[in-house]
Structure 1
Amino acid sequence: MIAPGHSRAVLSAGANVGDPMAMLRLVPGGLADAGADIRVVDVSQVYATAPWGGVEQDDFLNITLIVEGERSPVDWLRLGAELETRAHRTREVRWGPRTLDVDVINVADADGVVRSDDPELTLPHPRAAQRAFVLVPWLEIEPDAELVTPDGPRRVAELATALPQAEQDGVRRIGPL
């Protein structure tokens, strides 16, 4: 049960420029340092994946995190953006190479799963169900996870196995962060 004023968020982080492992390590530490109210519940192992979106670039390293705190969904988005700024992220090419990308995938509060059509933050993340690099690490740390899709709530395990086999096979576990 989530206390009023608190939320629980699923975040996905990826990096493929510079030292991607070091960039990913910034995320849990940076979130924990962002406020005494924030608790990093769990962090997946690191997974390597081919880039998504058709831009020629190096493979990404990815993690998924579950965090809780006295934060709104937009607060989680802003914290992710602050971490990207610390990693010197630039936004030059959509789905292009980046030092760090932190996406808010799902947020729940005392009223349940937060849904938002706001262009700044659409929740649940509109493409999460299509991305093995989000679903596979999420399953590692929350095997019973559900994601609200346009077809209603679906188990993340079902969404992951419904993806093309090549995409599932393209998510390779590297090891701990």
Structure 2
Amino acid sequence: MSTNQERVYLSIGSNIHPRVQNIRKALSRLRAVAGVTVIAESHWYETEPWGNREQANFYNVSVSLVTTLTPAELLDELHTIEQAGHRQRLVHWGPRTIDMDIIFWGQRRIATVDLTVPHAQAANRNFVLLPTAEIAADDPLVGPQVARMIAANQDQSWIKKVRNVSELDD
């Protein structure tokens, strides 16, 4: 990785059966995108739903990557992966087969109709902050942002690190 290339951080989650398979397929599709190189993956976490709690628990993972794509192009690729995973946007904060969000892009601040970076709700979500902190600790651009957000975070929802993903069942 060149020293001037910013790392991008994604949060990926699923709470519709088969959750593990949904995330694995999304990660595989992400790794196959031209211009994207995944450089780290956090542990997986089982998490309480955020917002609308009347649904199944999620599995969540954070990944960091470098890319030659623009933010809009990466977002389009993530939407394509979500569509391939049969993502339906029926209920705000509702159940989903796969959810992929751009959380950080180095120190960039992006505010368009389709994309806000850092993610508008990142600072309020354990399931985003804790996995991202795992893989951003050595990133001088994003690590301090995550640490500040964790210090101020008031999210009381539970989050549990999954020790062995291969033993997960849906």
TM-score by length of structure 2 reads: 0.86
CA distance in 1, matches of 2:40, 2:155: 27
Does the alignment pair 1:104 with 2:92? no
CA distance in 2, matches of 1:116, 1:155: 15
CA distance in 2, matches of 1:165, 1:144: 24
Contact 2:126 2:155 survives alignment (8 Å): no
CA distance in 1, matches of 2:137, 2:160: 18
Q: Which residue of 2 aligns with 1:89?
A: 87
1:145 positional shift: 5.1
Contact 2:11 2:62 survives alignment (8 Å): yes
Contact 2:104 2:119 survives alignment (8 Å): yes
After superposition, the C-alpha distances for 1:42-73 in whole angstroms (9 at most, x for unaligned) are 01111011101124100110000001121111
CA distance in 2, matches of 1:17, 1:133: 17
**Bigger shift: residues 114-123 or 56-65:** 114-123
User: Normalized per residue, which structure has more strand?
Assistant: 1
Pick from 68, 78, 81 the counterpart of residue 80 of structure 1: 78
CA distance in 1, matches of 2:10, 2:125: 13
Contact 2:125 2:155 survives alignment (8 Å): no
Q: Which residue of 2 aligns with 1:10?
A: 9
3-state SS, counterpart of residue 166 of structure 1: coil
Pick from 139, 145, 170 the counterpart of residue 155 of structure 1: 145
3-state SS, counterpart of residue 45 of structure 2: strand
Pick from 114, 117, 125 the counterpart of residue 120 of structure 1: 114
Contact 1:144 1:155 survives alignment (8 Å): no
Q: Which residue of 1 aligns with 2:161?
A: 173
Contact 2:124 2:155 survives alignment (8 Å): no
Q: Which residue of 2 aligns with 1:62?
A: 60
User: Structure 1 runs of 4+ off > 4 angstroms?
Assistant: 144-148
After superposition, the C-alpha distances for 1:58-112 in whole angstroms (9 at most, x for unaligned) are 011000000112111112211111111111011100000000000011113xxxx
Contact 2:39 2:65 survives alignment (8 Å): yes
TM-score by length of structure 1 reads: 0.83
Unpaired segments of 5 or more residues in structure 1? none
Say how many residue pairs are matched: 163
CA distance in 1, matches of 2:103, 2:15: 20
3-state SS, counterpart of residue 65 of structure 2: strand
**Bigger shift: residues 22-31 or 157-166:** 157-166
Q: Which residue of 1 aligns with 2:133?
A: 139
Q: Give the root-mean-square deviation of aligned CA atoms.
A: 2.2
CA distance in 1, matches of 2:14, 2:41: 15
